Structure 1
Amino acid sequence: MKQGFYILLLFTFFQVSGQKFYSKEYYDNGKLKSEGWLNQNQRVDYWFYYFENGNKKEEGHFINNKKCKWWIFYNSNQEITKKSEFKNDLINGFSLFYRNSQIIRAEKYFMGNKTNEWNSLAEFKKDNNINFL
């Protein structure tokens, strides 16, 4: 009977410790600094980061504690300044730069190294068949 109890207790411990949970970190002033999902002490899924004034700073996906997919970056007034694709914590794909909610230029990266850049949206569209713009 005791052996069965200990096995159940051990199983319960590993079940609870292996589950993901929502985490929040705060600045000294009490404002939210970051929030998102942790699984076994690693960032996973979608995360948000904030400036000390409480405005959003950046947001995006993690897999195994590494940035992946699209990330959105903001200035302190919460205006989008850049959207970038990541893979394994490195910029990989396009980075689109914004001013007044309009794309003003673009860059392309391969595993952290810039491979191309365009100084206007027209140039970018001409060279890339992108449906989301």
Structure 2
Amino acid sequence: MKKVIIIIIVFISFNAFAEKIYKRTYFENGTIKAEGWLENNQKTAFWKFYFDNGSLKKEGHFSEDKEIKYWKFYTKFGTIEKEGHFTNGKKTNWWLFYDSREKINHKCQLKDNQKNGFCLMYKNEKLISASKYKAGKKIKEWTTFASFKKDNKLSDLK
């Protein structure tokens, strides 16, 4: 019976330390700086971060204090700046980058925080060029869709 009680006490104690809490931090001027969930003193689940003027800076998910899943980033004026995927705290997959009018300026495939794959450049919502990168270094560029199609399959853009 003593062993059962000790196991129950240990189990209850462990659960108390693993409690998930909602945390808010503030700038000196009193506006909110960040808000989200902490578990075992590490960021987890959904978080939002703000500029000191109160506008949203970025938002996304954490797991064990590392960015995961899909994130969005904004300018101080509240317009979208970029958005994309994180895996284990590193930028991966396709990322979209916007101009000041919130139109896509370019989109790139990333791996481990650097360009790795294709980058497509746009002007006035029209594709104007494409580049291919490997480990952050440009290895090829195309300025016409015909030349791009000649060297690549469209399925390569997935």
TM-score, shorter chain, exceeding 0.5: yes
Match of 2:55 in 1: 31
Structure 1 residues 69-84: aligned runs within 5 Å: 69-84=93-108
Match of 1:64 in 2: 88
Tell me the SS of whatever aligns to 2:67. Answer: strand
1:10 and 2:14 aligned: yes
Structure 1 residues 1-133: aligned runs within 5 Å: 1=5, 3-11=7-15, 13-14=17-18, 16=20, 17=39, 20-131=44-155
Letter of the 2:117 counterpart = G
Question: CA–CA distance in 2 between the matches of 1:11 and 1:27?
Answer: 35
**Offset of 1:20 from its aligned partner?**
3.2
Tell me the SS of whatever aligns to 1:20. Answer: strand
Letter of the 1:65 counterpart = G
Tell me the SS of whatever aligns to 2:108. Answer: strand
Letter of the 1:39 counterpart = S
Distance 1:94 1:10, change over 3 A: same
Work out which structure has the larger RCO, using CA pairs closer than 8 Å and 6 or more positions apart in sequence. Answer: 1
**Offset of 1:46 from its aligned partner?**
0.3
Alpha carbon RMSD of aligned pairs, Å?
2.1
TM-score in terms of structure 1 length: 0.90
TM-score in terms of structure 2 length: 0.76
Question: CA–CA distance in 1 between the matches of 2:65 and 2:84?
Answer: 18
Give the stretch that moved more between structures: 114-123 or 1-10: 1-10
Percent pairwise identity? 37
Higher alpha-carbon Rg:
2
Letter of the 2:129 counterpart = R
